[in-house]
Amino acid sequence: MRPYKTTSAALSDVLRLSQSMTYKCAVGGIPFGGGKAIVVADPARDKTTELLHAFGDAVESLNGRYITSFDMGTTMDDVRTIGEVTAHVGGIDAASGNASASTAQGLLACIKASIRYLQGAGKSLHGTRVAIQGVGNVGGRLARLLAAQGARLVLADVDRQLAGRMAEELGAELAGSEEILAADVDVFSPCALGGILDETSITRIRAPIIAGGANNQLASPSVGKKLKDRGVLYAPDYLANAGGIIDLHYQLNRAPRENLQAHLHGLGDILRRVYERSDETGLSTNAVADEIAEEVVRRGSIDSAIAS
């Protein structure tokens, strides 16, 4: 839910998001096709029960072909309200918890895989400097996970009070949402809006690794090649943030929760293969991930795709 300025901007975003969701399901190794919905509204001003029910009616009209959950501008409580008029919702299983926790855990696995790929298998997070842009549902959880393993954090959010409270809680540094791009850190983790990595902004990034939870971080696919040319290791966003949709798969299919952690940890193994193939072929990591995702869509198996 965002107050898009034009219908064309909304349409462009939802098509990019739905493509990313398709790729995310593919590389995450779960049997969903991928799709995305947006609501053109200001969540702080326009969100009402009537609006959420109207959206639920639209979801219901698709007869289960689309399952919705929460994302930017919406919450688990909003999805529960939507669920009052449609059964086709995910992420509201109170016993399973908030799927954002799994997004953060999968992202943590990818950050670890990235650091070890660059610095060796024995490298730990202790003392590693990580800058997190956006400390909401995913970024905030990631910050706590990293802090628990001894990482040193730099935090930023458009909500300065939220960022300040978390920085105080975790003993982190505080930065502005724009200035954090230039932070002298080992990992830059964008966990807010997409499209922040463009030809101009990447020249400011000093971190050798970019691994974040935001969707559609690259303003265009060509930016991925420019990052590779600059020697920056970029974790494709839909792979790094696939933990949430994996969690929803376990919830919706009543799959054993004890298998979830191993599935999330496996994202780091897939990412390592993306990095290896990128080095072998010279392709950007986002191009390699796209190839793998499209191969999964054709073959239906992530194992065969990463092995080829």
Q: How many CA atoms lie within 13 A of 56 on its CB side?
A: 19
* Torsion (CA) 218, 224, 226, 232 in degrees, nearest 10: 100
Angle (CA) 228-264-209 rounded to 5° is: 25
Q: How many CA atoms lie within 13 A of 35 on its CB side?
A: 12
**Of 5, 24, 36, 47, catalytic:** 36
- The DSSP bridge pattern shows strands 129-133 and 187-190 to be parallel
Tokens of 145: 């996970």
Residue 36 catalytic?
yes
Tokens of 68: 């919705």
Which strands, in side-by-side order, build the sheet including 173-174?
173-174, 152-156, 129-133, 187-190, 209-210, 233-234
The set of catalytic residues is 36
